[in-house]
Amino acid sequence: MMIGSRRTILGGLGAGLTLAGIGAQGARSAAQRKIGYAIVGLGSYATRQIMPNFKNCDHARLVALVSGTPAKLRQYGAEYGIPATHHYSYADYDRMRDNSDIDVVYVVLPNAMHAEYSIRAAQAGKHVMCEKPMAVSAAECEAMIAASRKAGKLLMIGYRSRFEPYNRLAIDLARRGHVGPTRIITSEHGFPIQPNQWRLDRPLSGGGSMMDIGIYSLNATRYLTGEEPVEVSAIESTDRADPRFKTVEDRISFLLRFPSGVEATCVSSYSSAHNAYRVVGTEGWIDMEPATSYSGQTMRIRKDGDVTPRTISEPAKNQFAGQLDHMAECIMNGSKPIVPGEEGLADLRVIEAIYRSAAEHRTISLAT
C-alpha cells in the first residue's frame, strides 16, 4: 500500500448535510438518490485514492469530510464542492445521528482507531465502511460486528482487491480448477517503509508489516481458495537496531494449511519489495505480478506447457469505485456485502495466530 500521513489527534463530525442528487428532471426521490458517504480521516489514501473515485461511481456520492485539520477541510472542501457547513471535526462526531443525508461513514484512520469510530458511527445509525485491517484485535472486530447488528446497519471492510477485475478473474479461475485443483499458493507483499509515520508506532498500528501489507498476502490465500486455514506456522525476522522497528516487526514469513490440502507460503515485509501471488495447480499455474497494487495488475497463465498473458479490457469502473458502489448497492437492495465485518474478523483471527506462532516458535491450530 501507499503510505500517507494521517493525524493522530482527532477531534468530530456534525450537523446537517445536503445531498445534491439532482438530475435534469429535478430532485431525486429518496429511493433514487445516490448514497451519501462521509469520509473520516483525510490522509493520503483517502485523498489520493478514495475521494477522486467518487466521480466514477453510479450509486455513491461524497457528501461530508471529517478531519481534525481545518486546512484540509478547506482544501478538499473547495476541491469537491463541499461547503463549510459540511466540514466536521471529531468533537461532535456523534451528532451525525441527526443527519439523514449521511448514509455511510467510511473510516480511514490509523488502525487502533477503527473500532471506536466504526462503533460510534453504527450507534449513530449509520452504515459503516472501514479500512483494513478491520481493527487491532479479533475482540475489537467482534465488538464492531455486534454494534452494526444492534443498529441494523451494514458493516463492510475495504478489501478493494475483491473489486479489481484481474483478482476477480483469478478467483474464478482458481476455484473452478482452470489449471487443475490448487495445490500450492505463494503470496508475497512488502515494501521498504519510510521512517517517522504512524504505521511504525504500535499503539496506533497494532503491529508492523503484518498489519499493513501482510494482510494482502493472507487475504489473497483466503479468497483464492474460498477456504479458511486450519493451521499456521510463522517466523519473524526484524533488525531491532533499525530505528524503524523499535516497536513493530519487519518481516514475517508464514505457512498456511487449508482443509482441502492446499498449502500457502506467504511473506509480509517492510524491508523488501513484493506484490505478487501464484496459484499452482496440478496442470499449471496462474501468476499475478503486480497482484494487488492500485493499478497495473498483470496476469500470466501456464497451461499445457505454454505460458501466455491474460488481458482484460479496462473496465469503466475501477476497484475503488467498484467498492464504493458495492456498498451503495447493498444498502439500496438490502443485500450483504461480499466483504462484511466477518471477513475482517477472519483475517484478524489468523493474524493473531501468526503473531503467536512467531513468538512461541510453534505451529498454531486454527481448527474450530
3-state secondary structure of 11: coil
Note if 132 is an active site residue. Answer: yes
Q: What is the pLDDT of residues 289-333, one digit of tens each?
A: 999 999 999 999 999 999 999 999 988 899 999 999 999 999 999
* Mean pLDDT of the 93-97 span: 87
Evaluate whether residue 302 is within a structural domain.
Answer: yes
- Is 324 among the domain residues? no
Contact 205, 248 (CB under 8 A): yes
Residues 83 and 210 in one domain: no
Q: What is the pLDDT of residue 85?
A: 84
Contact by Cβ (8 Å): 47, 108: no
Position 329 in a domain: no
CATH number of the domain residue 255 falls in: 3.30.360.10
Could you say which of 139, 159, 179 is where a domain stops?
Answer: 159
Domain count along the chain: 2
Same domain for 233 and 95? no
Same domain, 152 and 169: no
Same domain, 135 and 201: no
**Averaged pLDDT of the chain:** 91
Structural domain includes residue 279: yes
> What residues are paired with 185 via a beta bridge?
264, 279
Choice among 72, 126, 132, 153 that is catalytic: 132
Could you report the per-residue pLDDT of 152-173, keeping only the tens digit for each? 999 999 999 999 999 999 999 9
Q: Specify if 1 maps to a domain.
A: no
pLDDT given for residue 3 in this prediction: 33
Q: Are 120 and 106 contained in the same domain? A: yes
Q: What contacts 115, CB < 8 A, 6 or more positions away?
A: 135, 136, 140, 141, 143, 144
Q: How confident is the model at residue 20 (pLDDT cuts 50, 70, 90)?
A: very low
Catalytic one of 45, 93, 216, 270: 216
Residue 358 in this model has a pLDDT that exceeds 50:
yes
Task: Indicate if 125 and 203 belong to the same structural domain.
Answer: no
Residues 6+ apart with CB under 8 A from 232: 254, 255, 256, 257, 350, 353, 354, 357, 363, 364, 366
Whether 354 and 215 share a structural domain: yes
Q: Which is more confidently placed, 202 or 11?
A: 202
What percentage of residues in the chain have a pLDDT greater than 90? 86
223 is catalytic: no
DSSP state of 240: T
Amino acid 10 reads L
Q: Say if residue 124 is in the same domain as residue 224.
A: no
Give, rounded to a whole angstrom, the gap between the first and last alpha carbons of the chain.
32
Residue 34, C-beta contacts closer than 8 angstroms, at least 6 positions apart: 19, 21, 28, 57, 59, 60, 61, 328
Q: Which domain holds residue 214?
A: 162-314+341-365
Does residue 7 surpass a pLDDT of 70?
no
